[in-house]
Amino acid sequence: MHRSTKLLLGAAALGLWVNACASVVALPQTPKTAATPDAAARKPAAAAKTALRPAPGAEPAPYSVAFDRTLTLHANRTAESVNTTRIKILTEAALRNMGQQTVSYIEGTQILNVVEAYTEKVDGRRVAVDPATFITRDEASGLNAVYMRDTKALTVIFPDLAVGDTVVLATRVSTRAGVFPGHYFADVVFPSYVPFADCTIRIVAPKALTVNVAALGAGIEDRVEEDGDVVRHLVAYHPAIRTRQEPGATAPLDHDPRLLVSTFKDYQELGRAYWAEAEKRAAVTPEIEAQAAEITAGIADKRAQAIAIDHWIKSNVRYVAIYLGTGRVVPNDANTVLKNKYGDCKDQATLMTAPLAAKGIASEHVLINGTNAHELEAPATLGALNHVIVFLPDWGIYDDPSASLAGFGVLANTYDKPAVHLSANGVHLARTPAMRPQDHALITQTRIAISANGTVSGETRQSATGLFATFARAGAATIQANGPETMAERQLQVFGTPGKGRYEVDSSRNFAEPYLVKGRFTLSDRFAAPPAGRTVIPIGIPILGRPGDLLLGARQQGRKLPFTCLAGRQVEEIEVTLADDKPLNLNVQGRKIANKMFTYKLDYHVEGHTLKVRREFVSTTPSQVCAPEIEAEMGRQLTEVRTSVNSLLTLTPAAVRKPPEGVGALLPRD
C-alpha cells in the first residue's frame, strides 16, 4: 500500500492509507484540494503571490499555488476541513494542466461540497463555474491492479481561462469517521520544487482532545493559542527559493517543509491500533492448515518451510488491491486471500503469517515505507508507513511476500529504513538492515568469436543474486512477454551493434540464486578482412546495467538533498577471439579507482589471439541514504568510471597496423 499522493499537497482528507504496497509514487505537480474558512470563501480572496523566485538555473514557474485551510477537529474525532486553493496561470503551458482541478473524497465517510469555483480574470472579474458542469466519477489510482471502489473524484473545469488569470476553488469536506476508530491523523508536505506562494493552515480542536502538531522544515511555523476550552494552531508556510527536482533524491517527506497532525501518542500506539484489527485476520483455519501442509510436504527444516511458504505466495497470489472502507488499512482475512489468490501487501503479509503459524514458525507484521522516504518523524501518522512486510525473528530475516520476483529475504525498496514491528508480543520500533555488497552481485560474461569470414558472434551469460536477481527476473518476464528473439534484436540495437539473437531465460518464478539469463547473438556487420578492417568490441546482450549503473544513481552537480545509494557488486568480463592465429599485442593500460564509497578496477590482457577485458565495480556505501556532499566527493570519479566503461575500443589484428615490435594494436577511441 502507498500513501495517497494527494496528501503531499495537502488534500482535504485524513491521513489516508490508500494504494498501499506500490513501490513507486509519482509526486504530483498540483494540489488536488485546498482550504479556507467560510468567511474567506464569501469575500474576495487575496491574490496569490507571483511564483516564488526559482533557484539559480531553475526554469521559471508555469504557475503559482496558494491555499488557505481551516481544519476543525471535534471531541468525537469527526472533522471538517474548509479549503480554498488559488492557482495563478503564468504560462500557456499551465492552461492545459491547471485548467481543471480534481478533489477526491471517500464516499461513506466523507461529504464533499463545493463552496464556490470561479476563474478570476486579470481585471478582477469573476467567471463562475456552472455546477452543472462538475464531473463526479470513481477515482482511479493510475496504478495497475489498484481499485478504489468507494473513492470518488470531483473534477471542476474552469471557463474563460487565460495567462495571468487565477483559478479559485473553495470546498468543504466533512469527515464522519476515521480509518482508525477514535483517532485522527494527517500530513501535508510542501515539495520545494512545487511553486507555492504563501499558505495558511488553521487547526482548531477542543483542549480535551490531545492533538500533536509538528511544523518541520524551513519556512514553516506553528503559532499556538488557547481560548477557553479550544486550542488553535496557526500554521504559516512562507516558501523561499524554489529548487529543481534532483534525480534519486529521497522523498520530500524526509526533508522539505511539512506539517504532521495526529492524535496518536507515538508510533507504538499507532501500531497497536493497526494490530488490533490485523491480528484477528491471520487466524489459522482448517483451510490454512491444509494449505500449509501441502506447501511444506516432505520438508522438515523450519527455515526451509518458511522459504517454501514465501515462494508459494509469490508464485500463486498476485497483487491486486481493492480498497473499500477500512480496507485501506485493515487486511482481508487470510482465508479470503487464500480463496481469491490475490491481495495487496497487507493481505499477502497476513496470508504468509497464517501458514507460518500453522507450522509453528513465529512471524511479525512490519509497517514500513515502500517508496523513497527513510525517516519516521513524530507525531505518528501513516505518511511514512505505506507498506507491510514480514519479519521472522527465529532467523532475524525480513521478507516481503508481495515482492513477487524477489528471493526469500531479499527486499525491494525497504533496506535501511525505520520499521514498526507488530505481533502478539507487542509493538516495537526497529530498522531494517543496510545492503551488503556480497549479497547483491551481478556477473556478466560475454564471449565473442570473429570467424575467418568476419562473422561476429557470441554469447552473454548474466548471473545475479539479491536485488540484481530481482531485476533479472523482471527482465526475464519482459523477454517472455515480447519474445526472446525480438528482445535480443532490440537490445543489440540499443547497444549500437545490430544483429540477430535469442535469449534463454528460466521462469521468473524460479527463486534459486544465482538467477541466470543467457543469450546468443550474431552481428549484422562483419569484421572486414585485413588490411582494411577493424571493429569496435561489442558488449553482447546483457539485460541489466553495466558496472557502475543502478547502484549509486544518476549524477547531479550541486546536490542540495540526500539521495538514494545502493550497495552491490558488478563484474563485466568480455573475451574476443580472432580466427587468425596471429597474436594481439596490447598498448592499453588498466585502471583502478578507489574511495570510501566504491572501488573500480579495469584489467586487459591477451592470451594468444584472445583479448580479455574485465571490469569490476563494488559499491560499499554503508547506508542507503547518501548525504549531498558525498556527490561532490565521488561525482568526478564516478564520471571517470562511466567514461571508462563506455569508452569504445577498436580491435585490429596486429598485422593490419604493423606496429613496432611490442606495441599493441588495441586502440582506444573516445
Q: Of all helices (H) and strands (E), which one includes residue 128?
A: strand 126-128
DSSP 157-220: E-SS--TT-EEEEEEEEEE---SSTT--EEEEE--TTS-B--EEEEEEEETTS--EEEEESTTE
27, with CB counted inside 10 A (0-12, 13-18, 19+), is middle
Listed in sequence order, the residues at least 6 apart from 241 whose beta carbon sits closer than 8 Å to its beta carbon are 52, 53, 54, 55
Listed in sequence order, the residues at least 6 apart from 123 whose beta carbon sits closer than 8 Å to its beta carbon are none
Residue 513 DSSP SS3: coil
Q: 10 Å Cβ neighbour count for 54?
A: 16
Residues 296-337 have pLDDT tens digits of 999 999 999 999 999 999 999 998 876 544 446 778 899 999
Give me the CATH code for the 290-431 domain, please. 3.10.620.30
Residue 527 confidence (pLDDT):
78
- Could you give the angle at which helices 345-358 and 286-295 cross, rounded to 10 degrees? 80
Residue 454 DSSP SS3: coil
Residue 389 confidence (pLDDT):
96
Listed in sequence order, the residues at least 6 apart from 317 whose beta carbon sits closer than 8 Å to its beta carbon are 337, 341, 342, 343, 348, 351, 401
Q: Do domains 290-431 and 438-669 have the same CATH topology?
A: no
Provide block-wise average pLDDT over 10 residues at a time, the chain (670 residues). Answer: 30 27 29 31 37 58 94 90 96 91 86 96 96 87 59 92 97 85 89 94 95 95 94 95 88 95 95 92 96 97 98 94 59 92 92 97 96 94 92 98 96 95 96 97 96 91 97 96 97 94 95 97 80 68 91 86 95 90 64 94 88 95 94 88 80 51 37
Residue 27 confidence (pLDDT):
23
Record: fold of 438-669? Jelly Rolls (2.60.120)
Residue 139 confidence (pLDDT):
72
Nearest Cα to Cα of residue 444 among 566, 538, 577: 538
Query: Quick one: DSSP state of residue 269?
Result: H
Nearest Cα to Cα of residue 505 among 492, 495, 515: 515
Cα separation, 578 vs 70, in Å, equals 76
Burial 458-468 (b: 16+ CB within 10 A, else e): bbbbbbbbbbb
Burial 620-631 (b: 16+ CB within 10 A, else e): bbeebbbeeebb
Nearest Cα to Cα of residue 624 among 366, 345, 249, 368: 249
Record: fold of 5-13+34-263? Immunoglobulin-like (2.60.40)
Query: Quick one: DSSP state of residue 141?
Result: -
Q: Could you identify the residue written with the cell 480572496?
A: 45
For the chain, the domains span 5-13+34-263, 290-431, 438-669
Q: 10 Å Cβ neighbour count for 164?
A: 12
Q: Are 182 and 204 in contact (CB under 8 A)?
A: no
Q: Report the number of secondary-structure helices (H) and strands (E) in the chain.
A: 12, 35
Q: Are 61 and 90 in contact (CB under 8 A)?
A: yes
| H-only helix segments in 360-416 | none
Q: Are 631 and 250 in contact (CB under 8 A)?
A: no
Residues 13-34 have pLDDT tens digits of 222 222 334 322 222 223 333 3
Task: Specify the amino acid at residue 322.
Answer: I
Listed in sequence order, the residues at least 6 apart from 184 whose beta carbon sits closer than 8 Å to its beta carbon are 14, 73, 77, 79, 178, 211, 261, 262, 263
Give Cα separations from 10 to 48, 112, 188, 603 (angstroms): 17, 15, 5, 54
